[in-house]
A = this chain, B = another copy of it.
Amino acid sequence: MVAVEILLQVFIIFVAAKVAGEVAMRLGVPVVVGELLVGVAIGPYALGWAGTPGAGLVAVFHDERLATEVLHGALDVLAQLGVVILLFVVGLETHLHDVLRVGGRAAAVALGGVLLPLALGYGFGLAVGETWASALFLGAALVATSVGITARVLGEMGQLRTTAARIVLGAAVIDDVLGILVLSIVAGLVQGGLSLLGVAILAAEAAGFTAFVALVGRHVIRQYDVHLERLRLPDASFAVALAVCLGLAALAGLVGLAGIIGAFLAGVIFAEARDHESLERQAHTLYDVLVPFFFVVSGMRVDPALLAQPQIAIFAGVVALLAVVGKVVGCGLASLGLDGRTIAVVAVGMVPRGEVGLVVAGIGRSAGAISDAVFAVIAIMSIVTALIVPPVLSRLLRPPKEPPGASG
């Protein structure tokens, strides 16, 4: 078995992810932070337990570079399937009618929280001398809120039915869609060169792809269960959903968009299926197995020595600050007119970044648009924003000075 060494690294990554995730959860820290940090720790720049081929693998291929590329290819396909499943599950949990119902306020908050961080990231990138492509990826990585962290804090404090919670959750969904569209446009621009026409074409393509898939998908899905029964395929529905997910991801990639937009749309489509609960359960099993590979492999690409360089540490600090300021100001402004406490909860609740930002960074890195240093900076930014929000949010959410039982 050539694969013993690769199997061993798969085992190491899986166990490291699960242990780190569990420790993170008990410390009240997001699981993704644990997985990223453990990836840095076991990766080639630190302990070297994963990501570099051992003597056995090199001997099999008689060539160190070949062995390294094969190992990376093997770990990458797991990480890529992980991110496809991640976005599929995000899509499955996105119900279009909920998005449409939360209305104008959430849309405004989402838009404010997308435009300002994008502009700040892009402007700062250019200001410090990054290429336009790198600056664009930096901006795009600041766009999407990772709402899981906020949702958990809100849930733990019994605040999920407040106005603030509804706005944050609604805005975060719209924000995901916008974040993925921005990424698609940015990825296309970097391949094709920066031009106004290019932006327009890619925006139209991304919007067209989304609208086409959503419309056709919704039409098809309405008759989905009927078809499954007619075709005598009751057990096949998860296989069908996964096939559509992989197919749309590959299709999106082939037409020059980010593959994850296809996976996300597949999730959105199947969220309308009658058996979506069983789909979600099975998708979560796959999620638990594959998604950690994405975050650990992302962490493995971060060279902690980079952060010992004062220049890069300062860069990371400023980007994290811009990430916070961008959401707090952008979403805060869009919430004006609500009461002060709601504005504060919305503004802080939208701050955490996570999965989608890392996906953006990973795509920018494999496209050669961003350097290892910028990749590390984006990873640090995700970790910092994910870490600071829970304590601040808990403080903001402490029971107000109303008599007990007065809240509905």
Q: Which residues in A have some Cβ–Cβ distance to B below 8 Å?
A: 1-4, 6-8, 10-11, 14-15, 18, 22, 61, 65-66, 69-78, 80-81, 84, 187, 233, 236, 238-240, 242-243, 246-247, 249-250, 253-254, 258-259, 282, 285-286, 288-289, 363, 366-367
Contacts and interface: CB of A to CB of B under 8 A. Distances in A.
Given A69-B66, A243-B14, A247-B15, A7 B285 contact: no
B366 A254 contact: no
Contact of A243 (B15, B65, B78, B247): B15
A22 B73 contact: no
Contacts of A61: 69
A264 to B, nearest CB: 14
Contacts of A253: 1, 4, 7-8
Contacts of A1: 80, 187, 253, 258-259, 363, 366-367
Contacts of A249: 7, 11
B285 A238 contact: yes
A2 B247 contact: no
B77 A10 contact: yes
Nearest to A75: B77
Contacts of A11: 243, 246-247, 249-250
Nearest to A254: B4
Looking at chain A's contact residues, the main secondary structure is helix
A71 to B, nearest CB: 7
Nearest to A258: B1
Closest 8 CB pairs of A and B: A4-B253, A70-B73, A74-B77, A11-B246, A8-B250, A285-B285, A73-B73, A3-B80
Given A238-B288, A288-B239, A77 B3 contact: yes
Contacts of A3: 76-77, 80, 259, 366
Contacts of A259: 1, 3-4, 7
Nearest to A256: B4
A243 B18 contact: yes
B10 A242 contact: no
B239 A18 contact: yes
Contacts of A8: 250, 253-254
30 contacts: A1-B80, A1-B258, A2-B366, A3-B76, A3-B259, A3-B366, A4-B250, A4-B254, A4-B259, A6-B73, A7-B80, A7-B84, A7-B249, A7-B250, A7-B259, A11-B246, A14-B243, A15-B246, A18-B240, A18-B243, A66-B69, A69-B69, A70-B70, A73-B74, A75-B77, A77-B78, A238-B288, A239-B288, A285-B286, A286-B289
